[in-house]
């Protein structure tokens, strides 16, 4: 290589690495757990022993309380994922700062002490997780913990999550609305392009199960995760400069979202103090979900349980031949005030609620278990578009082809985004929360005062005491009389829907 054009060698790590090797009373583990609890942004990476072709993966670590290897070989083990031997964690707390860098030796730290804190971290809504194509890491990590602690000790979900690949494309000016390019950049390439730093590839495939780890290995592992945070900083700078999060920041600093309101919040997390970060989360983050079958090297024959397979990055696995192309797939003469009206099949009733939240008329079937014919009748009579996940319903010739649409996304938010995009719905901010989520009814014209609301709620609905002295407006559903007000949940929901509906103002 021409030394003149070669990227400069990596500088020594600008931070101290905490190598966590002990359990129980070890000070590094204690520090790690404290940092995790205080963190608002956490970068994650994992290393495992590279698998040699043709050889089965290394056996899982011994179970709890089993410190020795068995002398006799057990029955041939089923195929296994590689065992994760190192987990890198960089925590940045609420007050910003450099971030604490941890390299956690999973062959030494008792996994039982790490599992619950890690699961909490992965799922805490107020902590943004950063990673680079982290789903694979999560699958292996999950398998590693499950092998050691029992099958329930895996990890099902990382949310909210931001992938550095997406940040990279954002920084490169890629249009968010468009699909990401197919080619995937390596982390080394991304670091080189964005940070002008060259990551050593030499150690990437070193044996991460060998102990003791060399100083080089520890530094390499730490840098990998550390630079994720650096790249996130670039991203934050860019959106700050562009003022991309101003509207949602405004929303979180809304007068309703004062500390007194938070007492009423069920989640217990203070969304307001990290308003800026949360607006990034709302707007840009995604989640990683592992399915039951996705956590096994070979798919089992068991039926899918309640957990639905999904991942924002996943290609749709469901074969579909009903892709809408061209103009919005509805005939305005069918009905709706410039917006189509929908009927959501029983499997996607959650979507009906979400559509109502953004002001769209979305009914559910009148009978609890409707026959296909009843569904189609209601669709036709009420001038609706039937939304379904049931491919069989598409076969009925009874409905015009523009009156039934098969929803492909598996989770409510994805489904809402899919319907909004497919039907090209332009949702405005004042449409949000303008319809009764319970019954699809519309609200009274004028809001009620607290006194009127208390009167209206008698024997029917309890208005929490914490809402008194708050000067709130109450809205009543004209159909079912349900009362609504703008509490914490309202504001959280508005934020979520602002981003799903692509509303920016």
| Nearer of residues 318 and 480 to Zn ion, judged by Cβ | 480
Query: Which run of H or E residues covers position 20?
Result: strand 17-20
The answer to whether the CB of 20 falls within 8 A of the CB of 102 is yes
Closer CB to Zn ion, 104 or 477, in the complex: 477
Q: Is 364 in the site for Zn ion (CB under 5 A)?
A: no
Least separation in angstroms between CB 355 and Zn ion: 14
Q: Which of 42, 436, 483, 494 binds Zn ion (CB under 5 A)?
A: 436
Q: Is 466 in the site for Zn ion (CB under 5 A)?
A: no
Closest by CA position to 134, among listed 162, 97, 93, 95: 162
> Quick one: which segment of 24-32, 116-124, 325-333, 472-480 binds Zn ion (CB under 5 A)?
472-480
Residue among 408, 412, 438, 470 that touches Zn ion (CB under 5 A): 438
Closer Cβ to Zn ion, 284 or 484, answer by number: 484
Q: d(Cα 35, Cα 274) in Å, to the nearest integer?
A: 17
- In the complex, the smallest distance separating the C-beta of residue 334 from Zn ion, rounded to whole angstroms, is 24
Least CB distance from residue 382 to Zn ion, whole Å?
A: 17
Minimum Å gap between C-beta 429 and Zn ion is 22
Ramachandran bin of 383, using left for φ above 0, alpha for ψ from -120 to 50, beta for the remaining angles: left
Number of residues that make up the chain: 505
Per-residue contact string for residues 380-419; x = within reach of Zn ion by CB under 5 A: ----------------------------------------
Cβ neighbours of residue 485 under 8 Å, at least 6 residues apart?
453, 463, 467, 472, 473, 474, 475
By CB under 5 A, residue 482 contacts Zn ion:
yes
Counting contacts by CB under 5 A, is residue 444 touching Zn ion?
A: no
Which CB sits closer to Zn ion, 339 or 484? 484
Torsion of CA 372, 376, 382, 384, to 10 degrees: 110
Contacts of 47 (CB under 8 A, 6+ apart): 84, 85, 86, 88, 208, 221
Residue keyed to tokens 């985004």:
417
How many residues lie near Zn ion (CB under 5 A)?
A: 8
Q: Which is nearer to Zn ion, 478 or 504 (CB)?
A: 478
- Considering the complex, state which of residue 296 and residue 476 has its C-beta at the smaller distance from Zn ion: 476
CB 341 within 8 A of CB 381: no
Stretch that binds Zn ion, among 75-83, 171-179, 395-403, 435-443 (CB under 5 A): 435-443
Question: 399 or 439, CB closer to Zn ion?
Answer: 439
Counting contacts by CB under 5 A, is residue 439 touching Zn ion?
yes
**CB nearer to Zn ion: pick between 46 and 448:** 448
The nearest distance, CB 412 to Zn ion, in angstroms, is 19
Residue 262: closest CA among 247, 251, 273, 278 = 273
Tell me if 429 contacts Zn ion by CB under 5 A.
no
Q: Which of these ranges, 9-17, 318-326, 432-440, 451-459, lies near Zn ion under the rule CB under 5 A?
A: 432-440
Beta carbon nearer to Zn ion, 115 or 484: 484
φ, ψ of residue 185 in degrees (nearest 5): -85, 145
No. of helices (H) and no. of strands (E), the chain: 14, 13
Tell me: does residue 477 bind Zn ion (CB under 5 A). Answer: yes
Q: Where are the beta strands (DSSP E) in 58-194?
A: 84-93, 96-105, 128-131, 157-163
CB 343 within 8 A of CB 377: no
Which of helix, strand or coil describes residue 9?
Answer: coil
> Residue 104: CA atoms inside 13 Å, Cβ hemisphere, count?
30
Please report, as ranges, the residues that interact with Zn ion according to CB under 5 A: 436, 438-439, 441, 477, 479-480, 482
């Amino acid at each position: 290589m021409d030394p003149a054009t070669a990227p400069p060698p990596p500088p020594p790590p600008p931070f101290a690495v905490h190598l966590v090797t002990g359990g129980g009373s070890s000070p590094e583990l204690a520090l790690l757990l404290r940092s995790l609890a205080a963190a608002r942004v956490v970068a994650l990476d994992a290393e495992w022993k590279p698998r040699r072709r043709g050889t089965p993966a290394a056996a899982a670590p011994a179970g709890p309380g089993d410190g020795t290897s068995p002398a006799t070989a057990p029955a041939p083990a089923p195929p296994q994922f590689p065992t994760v031997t190192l987990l890198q964690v960089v925590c940045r707390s609420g007050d910003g700062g450099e971030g604490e860098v941890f390299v956690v030796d999973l062959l030494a730290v008792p996994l039982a002490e790490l599992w619950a804190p890690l699961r909490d971290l992965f799922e805490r809504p107020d902590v943004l997780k950063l990673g680079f194509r982290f789903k694979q890491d999560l699958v292996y990590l999950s398998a590693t913990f499950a092998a050691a602690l029992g099958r329930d000790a895996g990890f099902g979900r990382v949310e909210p999550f931001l992938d550095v690949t997406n940040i990279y494309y954002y920084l490169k000016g890629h249009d968010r609305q468009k699909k990401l390019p197919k080619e995937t950049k390596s982390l080394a390439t991304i670091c080189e392009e964005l940070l002008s730093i060259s990551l050593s590839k030499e150690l990437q495939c070193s044996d991460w199960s060998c102990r003791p780890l060399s100083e080089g290995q520890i530094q390499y592992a730490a840098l990998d995760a550390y630079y994720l945070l650096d790249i996130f900083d670039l991203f934050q700078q860019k959106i700050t400069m562009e003022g991309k999060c101003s509207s949602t920041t405004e929303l979180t600093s809304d007068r309703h979202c004062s500390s007194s309101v938070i007492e009423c919040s069920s989640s217990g997390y203070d969304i307001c103090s990290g308003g800026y970060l949360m607006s990034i989360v709302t707007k840009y983050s995604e989640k990683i979900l592992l399915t039951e079958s996705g956590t096994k090297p070979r798919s089992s024959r068991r039926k899918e349980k309640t957990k639905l397979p999904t991942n924002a990055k996943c290609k749709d696995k469901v074969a579909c031949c009903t892709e809408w192309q061209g103009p919005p797939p509805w005939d305005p003469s069918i009905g709706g005030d410039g917006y189509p009206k929908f009927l959501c099949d029983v499997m996607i009733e959650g979507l009906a609620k979400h559509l109502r939240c953004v002001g769209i008329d979305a009914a559910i079937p009148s009978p609890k278990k409707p026959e296909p014919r009843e569904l189609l009748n209601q669709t036709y009579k009420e001038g609706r578009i039937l939304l379904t996940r049931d491919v069989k319903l598409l076969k009925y010739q009874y409905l015009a082809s523009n009156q039934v649409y098969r929803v492909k996304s598996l989770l409510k938010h994805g489904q809402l985004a899919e319907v909004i995009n497919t039907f090209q719905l332009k949702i405005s901010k004042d449409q949000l929360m303008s319809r009764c989520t319970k019954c699809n009814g519309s609200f009274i014209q004028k809001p009620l005062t607290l006194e009127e609301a208390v009167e209206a709620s008698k024997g029917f609905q309890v208005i929490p005491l914490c809402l008194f002295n708050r000067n709130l407006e109450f809205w009543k559903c004209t159909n079912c009389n349900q009362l609504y007000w703008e509490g914490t949940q309202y504001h959280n929901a508005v934020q979520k829907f602002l981003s799903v509906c692509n509303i920016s103002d």
